[in-house]
Structure 1
Amino acid sequence: MVPSNLGYSLREAGRHFRRNWSTVLGAIVTIFLSLFVIGLFVMGSVMIGNLVGNVENSVTIQAFLSDDADSNAVQALQTKIEGWDDVESVKYKSKDEALEEYKQSMSNRNASDVVAALDGENPVPASYVITLKDPQKVEEVANKLIQDSDFQSVADGSDASSAVSYGRETVERLFSVTYYLRMGAIVLVVLLSFIAFVFINNTIRLSIAARRREIAIMRLVGASNGFIRGPFLTEGVLEALIGSLLAIGVLQAGSQVVLPKLQQSLSFLSFNLPTQVVAATYGALVVIGILLGLFGSAIAMRRYLRV
């Protein structure tokens, strides 16, 4: 589908751009919007993935221990858990450390008054803080810990399951929300890509209809199929290329303006996009745009240009 005469194809495409600028502009805007949404989806998905990864990495299992637990049994159990395949580390948190952490987390909520009301008693139990190699295994490791007889003997309370706490529910809800967001974005991207494809197809059809007499004369003088197709293929590709470059420009400008503001407002989150991801996204937009223009033009000619 490479034009047999590139110079002639470019001149003819430029002439059609000038004569039918409104139709061409509509095709370019449609392609721009479609590719802009695709790029926005890809870059947004990367940022959401990073945020989910950060939340996942903060998921730990906290196993509360009885105040009456034997210290040797507690130490032996810690060594045992550290030997499990999915466990990265186990940290023992004493009652005093747990109370101090409570004070810090409740610093703005009258924690000192609450602690004073305890009259020197410390009701916060000691615990293990278990970090995992794969956060997705949190439920599996938690169930293994609950069923472990050694843990049951030192767990806080008579029910070992109530002595184990982990934040898997929060991550699952986050995954559920992001899943539906991604599915919705995919549907929107496919729909807009189809609209851009149809618009290019219609634009080329109109161009063919307006130049049927010229095409017939070219056929009579012996012009090849490739020579005749060249301007239409070039036109579709140029429209798609311009639309993709516009989408890249807007995405780049938007990221330079919006991301720093988001980072400033939500400093506890990371909105950084790796340079490799940005470059790959922009390259993919150009390729997708060219393919949309190329195949949209080719199908229009196949159905409506009888050569």
Structure 2
Amino acid sequence: MRFGLIWAEAANGLRRNLSMVVSVVLVTFISLTFVGTAVLLQMQIGQMKTYWYDRAQVAVYMCIDSDKCESGSANEQTIAAVKAQLQSPELAPYIQKFYYQDQKQGYEQFKEQFKGNQISDFVTPEMIPPTFWVNLKDPSQSAVLTETLSGAVGVQSVVDQRSYLDQIFQILNSASFTAIGIAALMLVAAALLIATTIRLSAFSRRRELGIMRLVGASNRFIQTPFILEGVFAALIGSLLAAGAVYAIVGVFVQGYLASRIPSINFVTEGDALVVAPILLLVGIVLAAVSANFAISRYLKV
């Protein structure tokens, strides 16, 4: 009977404050959608780091202009010497595989990469340096290769491609942190709105609350319907946010981006389903804590 009465009081409060409930639903929906998007973005960045860092190569550029290299320009002897170093017992344990790309092959690859770009019209094969492309067993140990080959005869520079990737991931991380910041602000707004809604609901029923106190109702019995109101509204917003995140992944990420950038492993609907329970839990806990704080403060006044 007591549970029936509590649920009846909660339903009555939702009906009386429908406009405020809708506001709570919308704010919770928007804020948790930002939260879910930020979490998925971090998951995407993690996947991309794993994928691209494992495939990042170290480029050993041979010198084609003696004026730019203290050790002199590359020739057949210096190229053979670098190859021997890569196969030496000192470096071989770190190397998974490597291959040599001469100027003609490098030029063909350059034209393929910049196909349709006018820049390719101004580049000749003589401008492309011969290069050793090295895949390391552990990409984080590229410093061993850099220290060994930098300054070698005929070597212009040793470049770890991960240095380029770091700049890209810094930008992506900045975007992710921005989304997290916005989500945090929206969650604060949702918590304040839930608390305000509960206080207004309690104020509109102040006469009923006074009667309940006179007949000996406990504070917990009085507080529970109000907490349920906030949890119910936040739960609807959380479900909408989970559905929106799932739709974003299915329609935009997998439907649009994946078809246009097939080389990247994007987050999937399965990842969105992993995030969904987190959104539901955050929404419920946020509403319960905010509503409990608001009604407790009101009853003490």
**Common fold: TM-score over 0.5:** yes
Q: What SS does the aligned partner of 1:141 have? A: helix
TM-superposed CA distance for 1:274, in Å, is: 6.5
Does the 8 A contact of 2:249 with 2:269 survive in 1?
Answer: no
Does the 8 A contact of 1:47 with 1:273 survive in 2?
Answer: no
Match of 2:27 in 1: 30
1:151-205 deviation digits (Å, cap 9, x = unpaired): 72xx42xxx4x23233244212212212321221121111011000000000000
TM-score normalised by length of structure 1: 0.80
* Partners of 1:135 and 1:251 in 2: CA distance: 34
Q: Which runs of 5+ in 2 are unaligned?
A: 63-73
Match of 1:286 in 2: 280
Match of 1:183 in 2: 177
TM-score normalised by length of structure 2: 0.82
Q: How many aligned positions are there?
A: 285
Q: Cα gap change, 1:284/1:83 in structure 2, threshold over 3 Å: closer, same or farther? A: same
Does the 8 A contact of 2:101 with 2:133 survive in 1?
Answer: no
Moved more, 264-273 or 72-81: 72-81
Q: Cα gap change, 1:144/1:214 in structure 2, threshold over 3 Å: closer, same or farther? A: same
1:17 to 2:21 alignment? no
1:271 to 2:266 alignment? yes
Residue identity matched to 2:147: K
Does the 8 A contact of 1:52 with 1:174 survive in 2?
Answer: no
TM-superposed CA distance for 1:263, in Å, is: 1.7
Q: What SS does the aligned partner of 2:135 have? A: strand
Match of 2:132 in 1: 128
TM-superposed CA distance for 1:24, in Å, is: 0.9
Residue identity matched to 1:78: L
Does the 8 A contact of 2:24 with 2:194 survive in 1?
Answer: yes
* Partners of 2:29 and 2:120 in 1: CA distance: 58
Choose the corresponding residue for 2:107, options 98, 102, 113: 102
* Partners of 1:114 and 1:195 in 2: CA distance: 56
Moved more, 62-71 or 169-178: 62-71
1:89 to 2:84 alignment? no
Match of 2:209 in 1: 215
Residue identity matched to 2:261: L
Does the 8 A contact of 1:35 with 1:193 survive in 2?
Answer: yes
TM-superposed CA distance for 1:70, in Å, is: 6.5
Match of 2:86 in 1: 78
Identity of aligned residues (%): 30
TM-superposed CA distance for 1:244, in Å, is: 0.2
Q: What SS does the aligned partner of 2:159 have? A: strand
Q: What SS does the aligned partner of 2:77 have? A: coil
Q: What SS does the aligned partner of 2:148 have? A: helix
Q: Cα gap change, 1:134/1:206 in structure 2, threshold over 3 Å: closer, same or farther? A: farther
Q: Cα gap change, 1:26/1:113 in structure 2, threshold over 3 Å: closer, same or farther? A: closer
TM-superposed CA distance for 1:73, in Å, is: 4.3
* Partners of 1:33 and 1:94 in 2: CA distance: 52
TM-superposed CA distance for 1:53, in Å, is: 3.5
1:245 to 2:239 alignment? yes
TM-superposed CA distance for 1:64, in Å, is: 3.8
* Partners of 2:261 and 2:4 in 1: CA distance: 52
Does the 8 A contact of 1:244 with 1:286 survive in 2?
Answer: yes
* Partners of 2:141 and 2:3 in 1: CA distance: 58
Q: What SS does the aligned partner of 2:97 have? A: strand
Match of 2:66 in 1: none
